[in-house]
Amino acid sequence: MPELNLPLIIEAEQLMPQLDNRNLLLVDLSSPETYVQYHIPGAVYLEYAWIVRIEHPRLGLLPDPAQLTNVLSALGLRPDTHVVTYDDEGGGRACRFLWTLEAAGHKNFSLLNGGLKAWANEGHEISSKIIYPTPCDYTVNMDFTGVATRQYILDNLSNEQVVIFDTRSPAEFSGKKVYAQRGGHIPGAVNMEWTEAMDKNRDLRLKPENELRQLLESRGVTPDRQIIVHCHSHHRSAHTYIMLKTLGYPDIKGYPGSWSDWGNEPNTPIEHG
């Protein structure tokens, strides 16, 4: 079957004609309560906890290949399948799934702009029919191009061509709010809360490209540098990763574990304020 040629950020009008395409896998990462109540017709449900690994106090770690193989096989994913995903919270969970798919070596995927709320608020068809995927044997081929480790960041702290992009709240960034053993931020990091990329008047779709570029470039987040995004677990920052990817930033990495890894390590350098 030929590959679907869909953009990374897809609008509801572009998705509607493809809902019956056998090469499309529509994945819902909303809360289970929301999925049972309503979802896009044909969407299968994916529990967010299945695509992250926890080693307390470290959260949001990248699952090992065996776990990813089990999850993606259970979803019925095939190498030529085009995944379209969404959630009910502005895209954070859905984008973490897309980042994870990329790390698992899957190439074809899209984010529904605005997610379930945008779809429903525009009056598109919704369903409460539970969809059970047909499992298959999916082979994971890990690709760590888009993955940054703590050691990688430590090695590049003084590299002016690398930007550490912290997408937590300003209170977390400054150290006023502390959710790990230590608060603050990675030395030299720049901060933009992940929700600043969302258009609150358009069902949390991404803001227009020119607005996003202005927000980013005012912070020194420019396409000629390598950008490493993180939050507390690489949930919020996965949304930023996909946003940067759709803007054509060529060199982006996400930091799984994020501050729950950095801030719970006793000897990592930290700045406050």
Domains and CATH numbers, the chain: 9-121 (3.40.250.10), 150-262 (3.40.250.10)
Res 3: pLDDT: 67
Res 2: pLDDT: 57
* Active site (annotated) includes residue 231: yes
Catalytic residue among 231, 238, 244, 252: 231
pTM of the model: 0.97
CB 223 within 8 A of CB 213: no
β-pairing, 252-254 with 82-86? unpaired
pLDDT per position as a tens digit, 190-204:
999 999 999 999 999
Over the chain (273 residues), what is each successive 10-residue block's mean pLDDT? 83 95 97 98 98 98 97 97 97 98 97 97 96 96 98 98 98 98 98 98 97 98 98 98 98 98 98 94
Which of 45, 63, 66 has the alpha carbon at shortest distance from 53? 63
Res 4: pLDDT: 83
Res 28: pLDDT: 98
66-99 exposure pattern, b = at least 16 Cβ within 10 A, e = fewer: eebbebbbbbebbeebbbbbbbbbbbbbbbbbbb
